[in-house]
Amino acid sequence: MSSRSERRPSRVQLVPGEPVSAEFGPGHPAQLSRSRVRKLVITSGGGGVGKSNLAANLAVAFAQRGARVVVVDGDLAHANLDLLLGAHPRWDLGHVLAGEKTVDEVAVRGPEGVTLVPSASAAPELAELDDYRRELLLRSLSFADTAADLMIVDTATGMNRKTLQKEDALVRSPRLVVNMAASEEEAQEAADRMRLFARHFLRLEVDVLGTVPYDAAVSRSVHAQEPVTVAWPDSPAAIAYRAIVSRLWKPFPSGPGSDVLSEQSHRLEA
């Protein structure tokens, strides 16, 4: 992490309400474009559905397949990815928003080499950013993904269509993961309800990406502060997380006319 920080500005000052001015130099996030790395934005309509567990374990499963992953705790008021990944950050996005640290400086390493950009817990004021500061924060994320293959963003609950559009999360049709399903029948019923809801209220067509069964190993892994894909890799939930990643992270030939698939010759397909 330090080698990238040495090439970056030492501070990112995010001040509410100020217009972008010519006085901001090339290192200021106001002059940056948004990160171009491929992203998976994970959201849910309510809390307690396992959204952050999904984000943490997908990040680890991608890394286990050779991807270089940055996972961002985008729930600025109720962060918990650091606990789920067993990471112990000294700083978080609250310090970035205060202009005290850069995104690169607050990022920490998690299991399987995953890079975590942590957020602040119990800081509801961070969830009420104005559009200007939110945009600068999104642009400043490019400091963390210079060597990444993809970025996973764990959002706050209750995201609506307008907010997702502003964060470029609807570039492709959304995919649905049914979590904590007691049976295949329950998963199918839940998926059918969600597709109807999305079509009627959000005007979105949603496809099912996969199902994660209810698994007591997930609760045990939360208490152990270790992803279930690491702590109990043969558990039903861990197998389901890896199956979802296998549908998303596809190999392709490493050069024209080549049949060789190197570690880096994969890309996000959904």
Q: Which residues pair with 236 in a beta bridge?
A: none
What the block records as the tokens of 120 is 């602040």
Residue 160: per-residue pLDDT: 58
Please state, in angstroms and rounded to a whole number, the distance separating the CA atoms of residues 26 and 134: 19
Residue 16: per-residue pLDDT: 38
| Domain annotation for the chain: domains and CATH numbers | 31-170+234-243 (3.40.50.300)
Neighbouring residues of 124: CB distance < 8 A, sequence distance ≥ 6: 77
Residue 253: per-residue pLDDT: 56
Widest CA span of the chain, in angstroms? 60
What the block records as the tokens of 130 is 């104005």
Residue 187: per-residue pLDDT: 96
What does 134-145 look like in DSSP terms, one character per residue?
HHHHHHHGGGT-
Q: What's the pLDDT band for 170 if we cut at 50, 70, 90?
A: low
Is it the case that residue 77 has pLDDT exceeding 60?
A: yes
pTM of the shown model: 0.79
Is it the case that residue 93 has pLDDT exceeding 80?
A: yes
The more confident residue out of 23 and 121 is 121
Place of tokens 């567990």: 53
Residue 263: per-residue pLDDT: 44
